[in-house]
Amino acid sequence: MKMAFGLCTIFLVFTWASVAHASDPSQLQDFCVAVPDAKNAVLVNGRFCKNPNMVVAEDFLFQGLNKAGNTSNQLGSAVTPVNVNQLEGLNTLGVSMARLDFAPYGINPPHTHPRATEAFLLVEGTLYVGFVTSNPADPAQKNKLFTKYLYPGDVFVFPQGLIHFQFNVGKTNAVAFASFGSQNPGTITIANAVFGSDPKINPDVLAKAFRVEKNIIDYLQAQFWPNNN
């Protein structure tokens, strides 16, 4: 694991530096530690800023990414995010990250990050990953799929807003770290959004869209769709 975290350190130094201004607006001050309310605070970039005189080193510290996430779930995967919701010192800085753990044959299902490009580093195991392009200008063409098998030390980039996935094809656990060009990249898991929304999308809409019988949509909407952050 020492080698794995050494690779992760190098990865983060370069990717965080390169994506710092990839998506979020540039900060207007050295930092803006987020606070949960408006008392004695200034609103900047959507979050209230802590009084700079009250900022402490702990505002910039997150601990625990050395610990594996719980993959005992339907997907066989776990995401441990470190964005502005977990580390308030990231507010206005335009970066965040996450640890991803996969049980054998676990999956991080097709999803998008609407506000950030993702640089993905595999440190353990073997993953099959890929993303799909947006709708082409020519209606005669299809969305294009880009895929690769990743091995420890490999880095793969998922462009902002495009549907992508990661699947553990190995018989052992897999561990990866992701870096994002946003303090809050957001996640939309496709199946959850389509079949597990609250309230539910009218099944007639989905039956027409997917060109299937309504009973199939009813079955899918009746399933439990856990979010994976």
Which parts are annotated binding residues for Mn(2+)?
Answer: 111, 113, 118, 164
User: Please, are residues 56 and 50 in contact by the beta-carbon 8 Å criterion?
Assistant: no
Angstrom CA distances, 83 to 64, 113, 151, 158, stand at 14, 13, 26, 18
Which parts are annotated binding residues for oxalate?
Answer: 108, 113, 118
**CA atoms 225, 126, 130, 78: torsion sign:** positive
- By 3-state DSSP, what share of the chain in percent is helix, strand and coil, each rounded to 5? 20, 30, 50
Which residues partner with 180 through β-bridges? 96, 118
Calpha distance 221→215 (Å, rounded): 10
Which parts are annotated binding residues?
Answer: 108, 111, 113, 118, 164
